[in-house]
Structure 1
């Protein structure tokens, strides 16, 4: 993901003249696509390489897109773990009330002032945490704007950063510091729940979204919630992040920053505060406003991104009616450790 790219020279297909760059460091806009008509062969030959190159793909003007159609589109990408999807239905937020009853792989995000028909029987999750940088895990995420503020209302935005660029702009001293970090992640200071629920129980991130400032107190949890926190009943959510925040993308083999600060529990040889400060120092340059892409949503926007090479953050939902659909699909090949060839 270098500055001032043009689409890859080997890009083929009927959209090759409709691809434009979103930001100097990441993202491509693809016009004129009907996701319901895209074949698996076209996904493998065109959109999978495009996602690998740009990290984010924006497909605008998808007003008639249904959650099932965009989920089918995502399921055709290479390396998606369809066996886990069939088993777990929603590996991202299993059992969450924001999951659509007829399609639990998809969540509804927004507020209760949005069109009730769009809720599809789910209870939309309202983001109140504000900025909170993270990756959803080793996989791909899709987000569709079914209803967002327009006209003179405050715009709904989401922010992305290029993990490759975030690594490359660090000086040698900071790179070495990042490589030597031995971090541990889990719900010890928060809870086994969504970020929105963590906020409702008192958790707060720093204004830049890079470190936990206020943990969730024990008094805010039920006995069962406290048990799930102390016993770490969902280790797969956290184990992949243990160690250094520097990883290698399983297919591009490039080094990237890949982590989730809200769930940082400790750092070897450091106090909790020192570990939080150190991770913030590593992530800060690559998530600055100059380095990040801020997307202002329009109705019908569908954005697909590769969590293995990007970090992202939602922004706080406004009072204006808005409803988004989200799906996260894990991929089978794990992130690689940082290599010697820096």
Structure 2
């Protein structure tokens, strides 16, 4: 029997966060089958799992745990996306040479780590991606959600089941105010460099009955080569989707498009343990909506407005879990049950070093009624 115990996170009475747990008595480097069974059930129940004091975890062990949720999966979740110079993901990730499914992310100069030498990490900053920005003089006190998303190539490869993050080096002390700047006045105090999570299940539960029916019966079509397609586009100030300014790369200017790799996925994905539905949409690369009656909504501004209307209540400040990272924290999250965002603005000398791993799944998410394959 496994000795692992799972303790749900506790929040204030005013919080709407109802997910997350801390896992005790686990060593990622040495997990038994019984340990993994406990972790698997806990992940699908709590969505975000925090393992403390796991700094000695090797990249190999990180990959093996990540892949264990889908043993048939082998490749990095974004495939060759990070190799495309025009992709918005290209500057943010560095690959560990001896474990190519594991990426290094963070901020600042690092002389040597896991076979990488003399490299500089750059924490994503909203000024490179948002249509508007916080004034430079306020940059260290205020920040924004960079981009709410799921980890997925959304072209050819199936979305990963789980993602793991390991905090190797964390600059401490400072906190920031995360501003939504979307006319609501919403803001949230966050630790420096937090990773923010929101629940797709809560996002669905907050919908009206009519919107739940719409979400259950509608599919979203993502753009081909999505992270190149949006490489010139700009985000809304709360990081939830893009502003429609006609800046998307024309399809004819993208790399060759293979029609059978274009993905049409359900808006709602079912939890394999609880059976609950999560509203799981990556709002940035959405291109079309396929309605139950066969109608295809292809006006991009309208598509984005519909998706935003469904998702925005779920990222309200009281719904956000902003993890306060400590060195050695190993976080495992259900990539098919939560959305997450990078947050924070670092000074140049503040060094942050993390490892990230996800693997493209061997199967596509199930909708409420059927399995939906690439179309």
TM-score bin (small chain):
0.7 to 0.9
Q: Does 1:232 align with 2:257?
A: yes
Q: Give the aligned partner of residue 15 of structure 1.
A: 4
Is contact 1:114-1:323 (8 Å) kept? no
Q: Give the aligned partner of residue 38 of structure 1.
A: 31
Is contact 1:30-1:58 (8 Å) kept? yes
Q: Which runs of 5+ in 2 are unaligned?
A: 12-16, 84-92, 127-144, 152-158, 177-191, 290-295, 371-375
Q: Give the aligned partner of residue 142 of structure 1.
A: 164
2:148 aligned counterpart, secondary structure: coil
**1:103 Cα offset (Å):** 1.2
Q: Give the aligned partner of residue 128 of structure 1.
A: 125
2:331 aligned counterpart, secondary structure: strand
Q: Please, what TM-score do these two structures have when normalized by structure 1?
A: 0.78
Distance 1:13 1:70 in 2: 19
Q: Does 1:98 align with 2:94?
A: yes
Please state which structure has a larger fraction of its residues in helix.
Answer: 1
Q: Give the aligned partner of residue 309 of structure 1.
A: 337
Is contact 2:45-2:273 (8 Å) kept? no
Alignment counterpart, residue 71 of structure 2, candidates 47, 65, 80: 80
1:75 aligned counterpart, secondary structure: helix
Q: Does 1:286 align with 2:314?
A: yes
Distance 1:32 1:234 in 2: 47
Change (3 A) 1:204 1:243: same
Q: Does 1:296 align with 2:324?
A: yes
**1:217 Cα offset (Å):** 4.5
2:62 aligned counterpart, secondary structure: helix
Please state which structure has a larger fraction of its residues in strand.
Answer: 2
Change (3 A) 1:103 1:279: same
Alignment counterpart, residue 304 of structure 2, candidates 276, 286, 292: 276
Distance 2:242 2:284 in 1: 5
Alignment counterpart, residue 175 of structure 1, candidates 212, 229, 234: 212
**1:243 Cα offset (Å):** 4.8
Distance 2:60 2:259 in 1: 27
Q: Is the deviation greater in 29-38 or in 207-216?
A: 207-216
Q: Please, what TM-score do these two structures have when normalized by structure 2?
A: 0.72
**1:141 Cα offset (Å):** 0.4
**1:142 Cα offset (Å):** 0.3
For residues 147-200 of structure 1, the C-alpha deviation after alignment (integer angstroms, 9 at most, x for no partner) is: 1211347611111111112111211122233345443211577516xxxxx6xx
After superposition, residues 141-160 of structure 1 pair within 5 angstroms as: 141-152=163-174, 155-160=192-197
Is contact 2:270-2:276 (8 Å) kept? yes
Is contact 1:211-1:280 (8 Å) kept? yes
Q: Does 1:53 align with 2:45?
A: yes
Is contact 1:261-1:276 (8 Å) kept? yes
Is contact 1:81-1:330 (8 Å) kept? no
1:337 aligned counterpart, secondary structure: coil
Change (3 A) 1:80 1:314: farther
2:162 aligned counterpart, secondary structure: strand
For residues 121-157 of structure 1, the C-alpha deviation after alignment (integer angstroms, 9 at most, x for no partner) is: 2764632344312222241100111112113476111
**1:328 Cα offset (Å):** 0.4
Change (3 A) 1:293 1:338: same
Change (3 A) 1:218 1:205: closer
Q: Which runs of 5+ in 1 are unaligned?
A: 1-11, 193-197
Change (3 A) 1:92 1:188: closer
> Aligned residue pairs: how many?
305
1:330 aligned counterpart, secondary structure: coil
Is contact 1:114-1:147 (8 Å) kept? no
